[in-house]
Structure 1
Amino acid sequence: MKKNRLVSSRLAAATAALLIAGTGLAGCGSDSDATGAEASVIRALLNAQPTTLDPVVGARSGETVWSTMLEPMIAIDGDYEPEKTGLVTDWTRDDPTTWTFTVRDGVSFSNGEPADAAAVANSILLNRDTESGILKSYFANVASVEATDATTVVVKTKSPQYNLPNLFSNVYVLPPAYYAEKGSEGFAAAPVGTGPYVLDKVQAGRSISVKQNPDYWGEKPANQGVVFTWSTEASQRLALLQSKSVDVAFDLTHAQSQEAEKAGLETESVETAMKIVAFLDSTKAPFDDAKLREAAALAIDRDAIVKGIFDGNASADGGLLNVKPGTEPAEQVDADPAKAAELVGGNGPTVPITYPAGQYTNIEEVAQAVGGSLEQAGFEVKYQPLDYGTLVKQVIGRQLNGLYIFAGVPNVAVPDFFASGFMKTASITGNCPDPRMDELTAKALEQDDAAAAQSIYDELNTLGVVEKHCYVPLYRQIYNYATAPGVSDVDYNALNRADFTKATR
């Protein structure tokens, strides 16, 4: 039976390449050779290789793979809010800057190390203190972390922070001794966690597989394991699914999703919280000129991009901090090509447009559309496609200028994930340093709860997006994937997390 479900949340890869042979891929297997235990192994085809399987330093594109073996400190519920069913079973806010977390008793990592309070505390500190930590900027307010006994972690913050449990739902718990022994690269080559699966084998350049963890503390998976492979070509991913070489193919275009449905495959469409954003670097020419930033923001027509490239199968979104799907910013910038051209005044400077080739659906066309809009306003454009890993390194290393495009993925469904991640001076991007934005970000976190902080986030969004024009939000991605006949319960949610534990074939 065909199924095409659009999930709009109430809130809001494998170190292995595929062996390409002609128009297909070898090494994935097929239904004809899948028997016995092998038949219950889910064959998942991803769109890209993760830069690393170490969650401390890795972009979340690798989470689909590492989250089979590793678990976050705090679980989230169907509304993407923290719940007390995971490795942490309770928490209290003792005073405005002190939190106590209770760690589940008796859980061990797959290598035998205890997954106790000391391991949880160490994992928090790794995210705070690792120089190359991808989430380092989110933990600057953490003053101290102490495991007071085997099941208790006390966290003190420098100033009040209402969303600490939300933040900790993005801290993957790692075995302290093993991580210290192996280092980041060694851990990434053979991750060890508390999750429902453990590493099975890596076929260098081809695949990575995980198998059921026999000692998992929670509910056992419905399958024996998952084999991950990938291809950067969406057409090839669909072809492999149609040929029964894989069980699920992720990140299909809307047209390919329709083609898959017509071919009798089951399709899923998920409106995600992931936003594609154009970042303008205000620290370097040409966009150290506020007038030129405004011109660029007015030149780009997000509605035209969604209609022309995605045929409406994306959600135009002009806000940065309205994280949950279905929410709108208090203010946004709408396209005004005539005013953009007037601000440029002819003979505009060259703008490098850097983007992660092959990383997101139709991203090349999006970059071309953005560049075409800037050219119409009078800018010269130079395209700089990079692989995703290189782009992330250059963003963090402050090596880019002009305009760069990549996704903001809110691993935690709170506005601060984008505020601290992109808007603070000491953020991932650091493209728009401004003491006012630092002050507003801190002030929002000091409120009692999310409702009290909302007006501050509205002010912050308006400052960065509407007044300073450092960020040009484009659209919220609608994520398409398809499964082969007989494959069920592969779940992908609005926070771009996949769950294979209930999947069968």
Structure 2
Amino acid sequence: MEDRNLTRREFAARGAALALIGLVPGALAACGGGSSGDGGAGDSLDMIVGELPLQLTGTRQLIQGAGALLIALEPLVVADPRGRIEPSLARRFETPDPRTFVFDVRPGVRFWDGEPLTAADVAYSLELHRTDVGSILNRWWALAERVETDGSDRVVVTLERPYAGFVYAVAQTPIVQRAYNERHKQAIGTPKALNMGTGAWKFERFDPDKSIELVANDDYWGEKPRYRRITTRMVADPSTAALSIKTGEVTGNLAVPVTDTSHYEKLGGVRVEQRPSTAVCVITLNTLYAPWDDVNVRRAMQHAVNRQACVEGALGGHGQPELSIVSEAALREVMPAEDASALLAEIEPLVEFDLDKARAALAESAHPDGFEVGTVIDGETEIVRTLELIKQDLAEIGITLKITQAPSSVYEEQYGSSRYSLGSYTVTPDSGDPLTNLVGGAFDKAGVTETGGNGPNATNFTSPELQRLLEQLRATPLSDRARRAELCAEMVRYNAREALYVGVWSPRAVLAINDAYRYPAFNELWWQTRWPDQIERS
């Protein structure tokens, strides 16, 4: 994927809340969409999420912001809870060659206003993201060479180069009505002109930074929705959120911060579920600048990270140590469990926490007596705690880490610069492909920037061998699991040898839900599924 005009943070799409509103107990139901106090009455769901979209268009949101969009503005294909792709507004799709995706539009589907869905609407919707470099989905759609209609019911997407995982981008791309969007061009996606889709729920009210309310579409073409009303909302205070779930004013929280997990676990009447995550906190080392241009310094850094201590100290134990930019959970999706374990055992001697190994590597470098290095952060609690813990161990081998907290604007400008050449962030998966962290821009020469480390490739490292592996992985069909596993293993080994992205931990995905409900299919990718129908009454 070639990423155009994207910062490293936008590419990572790492789930920071856009803006939070504080609510007090008793005020939630008045906002609309809540269930009654017994936690089980009525036919509505009212869910707390980690972020809301800035607009109801699909162009201006991060990961969880799509949760209310994709159940209203349906995509051509949809992911099931395990990330497998299934037809939706496309009744069928095929890839006749590695660069071409053909979608046959489902007949008989109508928008909420009664107008029929056409191939022209579909092509228009896809083009919105291909041509808008500001769209969060442009990082995928920029790879499309062209989008064309073929008759009244077929759309053909041709890529610039092969990328088998492109279908996951299609699964995140909302389909909208062209006529409605063109009539409301300046106001589309705002409270004045919400948007026009085909989904099982339709937009009813949008209060930016606060909530989105949806109501069931009685004329829906597919399986009728389980719940009449859906609300997704932001709640700033964890105590308020937890108490509101306990009393039933809110159904649940789909984005419990791992550091708040114990707060929910102490409450009666609230069910807490934890799932493995493929998100990974990494340390990035900008190889454009000394000392990180020296592989032995990078290897010293790799051995100086006490991952288990970071899991305990930064996540409160609600996560697990990670040895690479690809999490253990992701590896186990890509290859047999025994192969994943063998690969991790193979790279462990290269990356394990061992201060003696760190000192030995530093002694072989151009900086045997140590050095001072800076990092800039913008206040994420888990990252701050992680860096503070790493700072202590770095001091043991003669490296002084200066941590600077700064506003987001300064952070975005300075991340990975010569002054702050060490960085840290959480690489959050934005598709059902477990190898998203590899096939994205993290290792791509197209993600290298001339200065700083704020592009998708935060290390600014590239090599012919690494680029070859990346392109082969992108082109390998998703069905060829053996080849994908082989290429994945090669890239994980390469990353360990060169000490590029230093894996630290993966957090658990945490759900808190009123005891009157169950969500057995919950995982970190809930937002790309038709999730309300997966929530059951106990």
Give the TM-score normalised by the residue count of structure 1.
0.81
- Among 390, 397, 422, which residue is 1:402 paired with? 422
Q: Is it true that 1:119 corresponds to 2:124 in the alignment? A: no
Output the CA distance in 2 between the equivalents of 1:110 and 1:48: 26
Output the CA distance in 2 between the equivalents of 1:299 and 1:52: 43
| C-alpha distance after superposition, 1:81-108 (max 9, x if no partner) | 2223x11221223234333221212223
| C-alpha distance after superposition, 1:264-316 (max 9, x if no partner) | 32222222322233333334566455444333322222232224444543132
Query: Is contact 1:410–1:418 with CA below 8 Å preserved after alignment?
Result: no
Output the CA distance in 1 between the equivalents of 2:415 and 2:201: 33
- Among 411, 432, 435, which residue is 1:412 paired with? 432
| C-alpha distance after superposition, 1:25-55 (max 9, x if no partner) | 73345989669x9832222123445555543
Which deviates more from structure 2 when the two are superposed, residues 172-181 or residues 242-251? 172-181
| C-alpha distance after superposition, 1:65-91 (max 9, x if no partner) | 32332223212234322223x112212
Output the CA distance in 2 between the equivalents of 1:433 and 1:204: 39
Deviation at residue 148 of structure 1 after TM alignment: 0.3
Output the CA distance in 1 between the equivalents of 2:216 and 2:417: 38
Q: Is it true that 1:80 corresponds to 2:83 in the alignment? A: yes
Instruction: Give 1:501's aligned residue.
Output: 533
- Among 505, 514, 518, which residue is 1:484 paired with? 514
Q: Is it true that 1:277 corresponds to 2:278 in the alignment? A: no
Secondary structure of 1:65's counterpart equals: coil
Instruction: Give 1:324's aligned residue.
Output: 330
Question: Within 5 Å, which residues of 2 pair with 1:153-232?
Answer: 153-179=155-181, 182=184, 186-187=188-189, 190-203=194-207, 206-232=210-236
Secondary structure of 2:493's counterpart equals: helix
CA pair 256-221 structure 1, distance change in 2 beyond 3 A:
same
Instruction: Give 1:69's aligned residue.
Output: 72
Query: Is contact 1:19–1:205 with CA below 8 Å preserved after alignment?
Result: no
Instruction: Give 2:135's aligned residue.
Output: 133
CA pair 149-188 structure 1, distance change in 2 beyond 3 A:
farther
Query: Is contact 1:398–1:429 with CA below 8 Å preserved after alignment?
Result: no
Instruction: Give 1:350's aligned residue.
Output: 373
Output the CA distance in 2 between the equivalents of 1:95 and 1:253: 43
CA pair 216-434 structure 1, distance change in 2 beyond 3 A:
same
| C-alpha distance after superposition, 1:397-430 (max 9, x if no partner) | 9997430312321413242553223221334623
Secondary structure of 2:517's counterpart equals: coil
Instruction: Give 1:441's aligned residue.
Output: 470
Output the CA distance in 1 between the equivalents of 2:183 and 2:225: 30
Deviation at residue 232 of structure 1 after TM alignment: 3.8
Which deviates more from structure 2 when the two are superposed, residues 408-417 or residues 393-402? 393-402
Secondary structure of 1:382's counterpart equals: strand
Output the CA distance in 2 between the equivalents of 1:115 and 1:441: 37
Query: Is contact 1:14–1:53 with CA below 8 Å preserved after alignment?
Result: no
Output the CA distance in 1 between the equivalents of 2:419 and 2:146: 32
Q: Is it true that 1:429 corresponds to 2:456 in the alignment? A: yes
Secondary structure of 1:109's counterpart equals: coil
Instruction: Give 2:405's aligned residue.
Output: 384
Question: Within 5 Å, which residues of 2 pair with 1:263-342?
Answer: 263-284=268-289, 287-310=292-315, 312-321=317-326, 324=330, 326=332, 328=340, 329=343, 331=347, 333-341=351-359
- Among 109, 112, 117, which residue is 2:111 paired with? 109
Deviation at residue 459 of structure 1 after TM alignment: 2.0
| C-alpha distance after superposition, 1:218-274 (max 9, x if no partner) | 222222212233234434422332343322123154774585366132222222322
Query: Is contact 2:253–2:511 with CA below 8 Å preserved after alignment?
Result: yes
Output the CA distance in 2 between the equivalents of 1:425 and 1:111: 46
Task: Give runs of ≥4 in structure 1 deviating > 6 Å.
Answer: 13-16, 389-400
- Among 236, 246, 258, which residue is 2:250 paired with? 246
Instruction: Compare the two structures and name the one with the higher strand fraction.
Output: 1
Give the TM-score normalised by the residue count of structure 2.
0.77
CA pair 446-259 structure 1, distance change in 2 beyond 3 A:
closer
